[in-house]
Amino acid sequence: MTTLKELASTKILNELLQRIDQEVWKAGEKLPSLAALAKELQVGVSTVREALRILENKGYLLIEHGRGMFVRSRNHWRQDSSLDLTSLPVGDLFSLLEFRCVLEPEMAALAAERGSPGQIRNIKDAAAQMIADLASGEDYFASDIAFHDHIAEACSNVVMASVMKGISELLLESRRKTTRIKGSAERAAHFHMLIALAIEQRNVQLAKDMMRSHLQDVKQDSMKLKESLEG
């Protein structure tokens, strides 16, 4: 069932995309602040943040911490997708998790080994933001996705980073389903901070182990969700 939150996110995403496509915001132009956009569009900051993150992953925006958000030229836009991301069946969550369990522990290890101080700070900030979002009752999806994206960026492996950006919407749909399990988001936020701290300490093995434990926890939640829908 589509929730009001999903409808709001889709509406804001389409509104921002239309402004870029119709050149209300031209290539190179700096967007208003997150808070200003949320006020203008009359939605929560987290809803706007989620939409902006998707647009960044699709190549429409360049988001630079400390500088702002900028429209990219059309040659950076990615409009096609080889995956149907709009209606992921619960059973297919296990295919996604299998993929993630192969890739993401290794990515966490590489981030601990190769990540720059700035990249590692972004990982930790995203983990802290998810905790803050949950504490304030805000939508945590954007900070959750950002955490994994920042780890991908810190790998210094363009293929891994591209793969994670390419499945960002699939990951978002997965999170919307597993969040139905009580306590899943809080446990994920806890694991995120443990992973971030291990990466910050340059502890390659611990970062790898914590990511694997996190994904095993997500797998258990997916199994609970499947059982509840079949029961």
Residue 90: predicted pLDDT: 44
Confidence band, pLDDT 50/70/90 cuts, at residue 229: low
Domain boundary among 76, 100, 133: 76
Mean pLDDT, rounded, for 25-42 = 91
Residue 82: predicted pLDDT: 43
Both 72 and 120 in one domain: the answer is: no
Domain count, the chain: 2
For residue range 79-132, list pLDDT tens digits in order: 654 444 444 444 466 788 888 999 999 999 999 999 999 999 999 999 999 999
Residue 155 has pLDDT above 80, yes or no: yes
In a domain, 220, yes or no: yes
User: pTM for the whole thing?
Assistant: 0.65
Cα distance between residue 193 and residue 209, in whole Å: 13
Residue 154 has pLDDT above 80, yes or no: yes
Helix (H) or strand (E) holding 69: strand 68-71
Both 60 and 102 in one domain: the answer is: no
Both 96 and 48 in one domain: the answer is: no
Both 115 and 11 in one domain: the answer is: no
Both 67 and 159 in one domain: the answer is: no
We report the CATH number of the domain holding residue 143 as 1.20.120.530
We report the CATH number of the domain holding residue 51 as 1.10.10.10
Q: Which domain holds residue 55?
A: 4-76
Residue 44: predicted pLDDT: 83
